[in-house]
A and B are shown apart, each in its own frame.
Chain A
């Protein structure tokens, strides 16, 4: 077992003091220590995208990100997307479009689309598909997810 160290982690605008070994991933810490279970462990090898979170606004696989490497960067998880209890336009569009089925991939999809819309406010369908190319969904066939993303892009943030 490697040594446990104390770190400060900034998640959804809040600083948390956490203790972990050098081998711990960001996903481990979020889920096990901070009780933030929104990011999912679908494959634990960076393929499915269900664990996607933002690091300083950029989407990363939290299952492949060592917690120790996060440093002072801001982590944003699906739990931090709502503002004052209001769904974001991405969340609302996914809900309205019937793009949520089993929902296990949904946190990763929400985060990937939040990142896309920050970068490209009016993406076309091709850009949406590329932005979601790292997020697997087994239920939807992706059609309604793309429809939701198009709908979200048409709404003022």
Chain B
């Protein structure tokens, strides 16, 4: 028998890897049902228009069409996040090109698409607002005339085209400027990045004989899907069951449910199963993007490099609907000070409506925009001070016990170690052959931080009759590996191999509640629930064994492989199966454990959050990191190549080290795409110009750096499961400013706008 290896800290292969490598994993479009209909969506051709009426007669007359729904058929139930401003189909107005206005279910996809084209909508075009500047003009066309009447969770001073308007202040920034020896100012611009999960969004809805709806979706939370569908259809949550298929990537893009109710509606109307699978182009047109941002930033320091003041004005382009804008804005504001002890800070934040695709949650959640400004400016400040940029960061870096803006204490913080380690790793790396003529190399280091926490979650563990276990949580694995991590945590507490535990697929009828797979929270939050629920089961097992041995539980121990023994008596053992059978058939009842909680750490003062209109008061614990990139700039073509990356993070405890590395490497390359070439582009009519993978370029293997070195510090967080903290987002956060700083180090050219396309690099080289 092989020696038992504790599952926590082991780089176990993904539990579902086999089904993925043999092609048996079933993503949303791999599912079908007998008699299933196919849905298609009719989309708005206008960026902004009033809907005067619909004519569905031609579509209805088409053979094979089974159901049609338009904005006149649905109850006006506005949904959304903090500010509820969206309906499942446009009602009264369209606010972006591509917005769903009607939908059809038909016997095949070609018929459904043809029918969708035959739906005639009578539009009265309105002037459109396509930029932040236009949206804020006093006489700008207003997207949401009824904004004041919308339901909201808190007041964000919404008015005109302003979704949210918030100010966050600490210290006295005005007084501090006078004490600064050096001040730098700049405006930084970031684009709309598309998530580009490889699997487009989709949903399969069906209705049972009692009229109850089941929605199978590729999503980041079955509990969210259930809530949203029930809200939009105006039925109780008990009448909606949400399940999840395998999810082909999410990155925040499947965080909120936009299309699920459309399929559910059509399934109810037709009485048949209905599948709605978005094409790549539709996915890009109707889902969401990362918020484009304009950030004006000013930072001041004393001669010795102590940063004493920072002032930021962040404006986010939220697109046509608020979605997560208030929260992304709040998070960007909380992140823009950076992981530094800066006593005097003033941050103004606004998110505005424009007639474009909604912006929403995307890996980093406002932090990549804030970090691009903040970390670019740290290098500019170092230049003006004549200081080494790493030394400047070390001088101001937060350490364990220091406060984040808003007052949370960083209980663990290895930022200094991360900064020193990436610098050391870079210096120790083998020298590359010199660059070809016309090319210049540069290196830069940035400091980053991110949270893991937020909201509520839960887990349940049940012992089966043979001594194996069923683990259930609402945490959806979107590709990052949470199924495996949750199972490893449970198995480690019980000291059994992972194959003794089955991790249930999420189903709103069965899975304990979880808010979402988001905010780098799964390992930290749901992982804590798993450990606590499993500990309850462990105690019950010991109680049963104590009764069987007629001893005290304190005299017992779990032995690896599923046995309970008496401490100090090697032979005296009882197997989990005997414990399970006793609990099921003799006395005590089935062994089960449940634990649920809401993030219970330090919060942003809720009263202050209300006053300052920050849409967050419940955040999380902090993960820190440092990222070093080495770039080569072709000064003739303007092309930037990232040669090597070192990315160090204090993850608390790596539950699965290979998965941690995968998160870091993947985030680095997604961040590189954001820095160098990814950008959704709208034309003057508000039409998306590049809604395809041919025209929207994500990094391929030849674009990606061949060397990405993950560096992991394990400084256990006292509250984390086995000390673990989240690592899902942080590796993306610093890459854009790191590349910008490295380009500057190589060439002297400072780019304050991403993506750093060859044209922009050439322009910057000419100006430097």
Contacts and interface: CB of A to CB of B under 8 A. Distances in A.
Contacts of A48: 198, 693
A10 to B, nearest CB: 18
Contacts of B669: 140-142
Contacts, number: 174
B701 A129 contact: yes
A106 interface: yes
Interface string A120-157: 00000100011011111111111111100000000000
A132 to B, nearest CB: 5
A42 B280 contact: yes
- Residue of B195, B666, B698 with highest tally of chain A CB at under 10 A: B666
A132 B700 CA distance: 8
A133 B701 contact: yes
A36 B658 CA distance: 31
Interface residues of B, number: 54
Interface string B651-676: 00000001101100111111000000
A77 interface: yes
B666 A138 contact: yes
B247 A102 contact: yes
Contacts of A40: 27, 198-199, 248
B692 interface: yes
A81 B20 CA distance: 12
B702 A133 contact: yes
Contacts of B27: 40, 104
A42 B198 contact: yes
Contacts of B9: none
Given A43-B280, A105-B198, A142 B701 contact: yes
Given A79-B22, A107-B23, A137 B665 contact: no
Given A103-B246, A125-B706, A138-B198, A79 B23 contact: yes
Contacts of A77: 23
A139 B20 contact: no
Among B11, B22, B667, chain A packs the most CB atoms within 10 A around the CB of B22
Nearest to A46: B694
A43 B658 CA distance: 29
Contact of A140 (B110, B665, B694, B702): B665
A81 B246 CA distance: 21
A50 to B, nearest CB: 6
B280 A144 contact: no
B20 A100 contact: yes
A95 B17 contact: yes
Contact of A132 (B481, B694, B701): B701
A122 B196 CA distance: 33
Interface residues of A, number: 55
Nearest to B481: A101
The B interface is mostly helix, strand or loop, or mixed, namely loop
Contacts of B665: 140-144
B30 interface: yes
Given A48-B198, A102-B479, A130-B702, A138 B21 contact: no
Interface string B534-553: 00000000000000000000
B329 to A, nearest CB: 26
Given A43-B280, A100-B20, A141 B668 contact: yes
Interface in B199-219: 199-200
A45 B22 contact: no
A41 B22 CA distance: 16
Contacts of A143: 661, 665, 704, 708
Given A138-B251, A140-B662, A140-B666, A129 B26 contact: no
Interface in A9-35: 31
A141 B666 contact: yes
A77 B22 CA distance: 10
B13 interface: yes
A94 B18 CA distance: 9
A87 interface: yes
Contacts of A91: 21-22
Nearest to B109: A32
B13 A139 contact: no
A28 to B, nearest CB: 10
A87 B198 contact: no
Contacts of A103: 16-17, 20-21, 25, 246, 248, 479
A106 to B, nearest CB: 5
B199 A144 contact: no
A39 B29 CA distance: 11
Contacts of A116: none
B248 A144 contact: no
A37 to B, nearest CB: 4
A75 interface: no
Interface centre among B195, B479, B667 (most CB of A within 10 A): B479
Interface in B679-720: 692-694, 698, 700-702, 704, 706, 708
A78 interface: yes
A73 to B, nearest CB: 20
A156 B125 CA distance: 66
A142 B198 CA distance: 14
A11 to B, nearest CB: 12
B139 to A, nearest CB: 41
B54 interface: no
Contacts of B479: 101-104, 139
Contacts of B480: 101, 139
A139 B444 CA distance: 24
Interface in B143-194: none
Interface in A35-75: 36-45, 47-48, 50
A98 B248 contact: no
A96 interface: yes
Contact of B249 (A78, A102, A110, A130): A102
B239 interface: no
Contact of A144 (B16, B246, B661): B661
A141 B708 contact: yes
A42 to B, nearest CB: 5
Given A43-B280, A100-B14, A78 B704 contact: no
A111 B754 CA distance: 35
B655 to A, nearest CB: 13
30 contacts: A31-B30, A36-B23, A37-B30, A40-B198, A40-B199, A43-B692, A45-B693, A47-B694, A87-B18, A91-B21, A91-B22, A95-B13, A98-B659, A98-B661, A100-B14, A101-B479, A101-B662, A102-B478, A103-B25, A103-B248, A104-B27, A105-B198, A133-B702, A136-B693, A138-B698, A139-B479, A141-B704, A142-B704, A143-B665, A143-B704
Of all A-B residue pairs in the complex, the 5 with the closest CB atoms, nearest first, are A38-B23, A102-B479, A104-B248, A103-B20, A78-B23
Interface of A: 1, 31, 36-45, 47-48, 50, 77-79, 81-82, 87, 91-92, 94-98, 100-107, 110, 125, 129-130, 132-146
Interface of B: 11, 13-14, 16-18, 20-27, 29-30, 110, 195-200, 246-249, 251, 279-280, 478-481, 658-659, 661-662, 665-670, 692-694, 698, 700-702, 704, 706, 708
Given A43-B692, A101-B249, 15 more contacts: A37-B26, A38-B24, A40-B248, A42-B280, A44-B279, A47-B693, A97-B658, A101-B479, A102-B197, A103-B17, A134-B700, A138-B197, A139-B480, A141-B667, A142-B704
